[in-house]
């Protein structure tokens, strides 16, 4: 059987992705949540700014405010990542895929590449739109705003898009391991939503030591202005990015190991 090139597999996976209505719906939801919630929170913040205390005004972070929608969109991209692999396991079409491309690692790399670049493009576009719209809404006398001319601001917006992309890969890695859509989405939501709630109930010393390693806390660090005062200690933005990349590599590595050895 002739060897199938990686570019052919990538084109095939991209065709699968763009011909599904659920893909376009998921991307639309991602953009709507990122931009819509960013605009809403920016508007509400502008209305409340005059009533804020001196400390609240001194620690005001206009970047994080305009990018807050990513904290809602992260669930949408996790679903996209999960469906990228679990939909084929559930439907059984993974057998057809592997019959056409016997190299499982080639299929895995192609799927991850298509997912990564698709979500990165949508994530970056949404993050820049949310930031610009948020700063426009918040602009006014006495309210500090940010500009992309500042390197730290540009870094935060770029990492916001990267954060969404990494979370989609996190969902993809969980999907490789669990292989069921409902179970994967439940695990993803638990990591992002339930674990922070459990951590909050721990003694303060434990909470401060553990919370900064949670994906949601890593996202806050990636999208915050330097020196921002937070309720828990956070890593620096680049360290946080490295930790999140490590999680993705670990999960996809475990998933790839199991994918090679399991029956389909």
Residues 66, 34: Cα–Cα separation, whole Å = 9
Q: What pLDDT does residue 2 have?
A: 54
Residues 200, 195: Cα–Cα separation, whole Å = 9
Residues of the chain predicted below pLDDT 70 = 1-3, 226-231, 264
Which of 207, 116, 129, 112 has the alpha carbon at shortest distance from 163?
116
Residues 57, 144: Cα–Cα separation, whole Å = 9
Q: What pLDDT does residue 73 have?
A: 95
- Taking CA atoms, 57 is separated from 39, 48, 54, in Å, by 19, 11, 5
Q: What pLDDT does residue 224 have?
A: 82
Q: What is the 3-state secondary structure (H, E, C) of the chain?
A: CCCCCHHHHHHHHHHHHHCCHHHHHHHHHHHHHHHHHHHHHHHHHHHHHHHCCHHHHHCCCHHHHHCCCHHHHHHHHHHHHHHHHHHHHHHCCHHHHHHHCCCHHHHHHHHHHHHHHHHHHHHHHHHHHHHHHHHHHHCCCCCCCCCCCCHHHHHHHHHHHHHHHHHHHHHHHHHHHHCCHHHHHHHHHHHHHHHHHHHHCCCHHHHHHHHCCCHHHHHHHHCCCCCCCCCCCCCCHHHHHHHHHHHHHHHHHHHHHHHHHCCC
The length of the chain in residues reads 264
CB environment 204-237: b (16+ within 10 A), e (fewer)? eeebeebbbebbbbbbbbbbbbeebeeebebbeb
Q: What pLDDT does residue 1 have?
A: 44
Q: What pLDDT does residue 56 have?
A: 77
pLDDT digits (tens, 9 = 90+) for 85-99: 998 888 888 888 888
Residue 228 — φ and ψ, nearest 5°? -65, 140
On whether the CB atoms of residues 68 and 161 are closer than 8 A, the answer is: no
Residues 148, 183: Cα–Cα separation, whole Å = 40
Which of 32, 127, 27 has the alpha carbon at shortest distance from 84?
27
Q: What pLDDT does residue 3 have?
A: 66
pLDDT digits (tens, 9 = 90+) for 227-237: 665 667 788 89
CB environment 76-97: b (16+ within 10 A), e (fewer)? bbbbbbbbbbbbbbeeeebeeb
Angle value at C-alpha 84, between 78 and 86, nearest 5 degrees = 95
């Amino acid at each position: 059987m002739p060897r199938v090139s990686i570019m052919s597999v990538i084109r095939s996976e991209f065709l699968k992705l763009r011909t599904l209505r659920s893909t376009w719906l998921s991307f639309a939801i991602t953009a709507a949540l990122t931009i819509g919630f960013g605009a809403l929170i920016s508007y509400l913040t502008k209305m409340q700014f005059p009533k804020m205390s001196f400390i609240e005004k001194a620690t005001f972070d206009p970047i994080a405010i305009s990018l807050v929608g990513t904290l809602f969109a992260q669930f949408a991209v996790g679903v996209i990542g999960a469906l990228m692999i679990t939909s084929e396991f559930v439907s059984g079409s993974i057998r057809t895929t592997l019959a056409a491309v016997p190299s499982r690692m080639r299929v895995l790399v192609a799927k991850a590449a298509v997912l990564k670049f698709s979500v990165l493009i949508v994530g970056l576009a949404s993050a820049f739109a949310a930031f610009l719209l948020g700063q426009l809404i918040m602009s006014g006398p006495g309210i500090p705003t940010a500009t992309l001319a500042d390197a730290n601001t540009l870094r935060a917006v770029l990492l916001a898009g990267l954060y969404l992309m990494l979370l989609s890969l996190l969902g993809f890695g969980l999907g490789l391991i669990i292989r069921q859509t409902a179970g994967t989405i439940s695990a993803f939501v638990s990591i992002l939503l339930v674990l922070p709630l459990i951590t909050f109930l721990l003694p303060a010393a434990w909470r401060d030591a553990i919370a900064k390693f949670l994906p949601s806390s890593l996202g806050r660090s990636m999208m915050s202005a330097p020196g921002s005062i937070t309720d828990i200690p956070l890593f620096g933005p680049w360290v946080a990015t490295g930790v999140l990349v490590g999680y993705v590599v670990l999960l996809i590595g475990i998933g790839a190991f199991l994918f090679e050895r399991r029956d389909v």
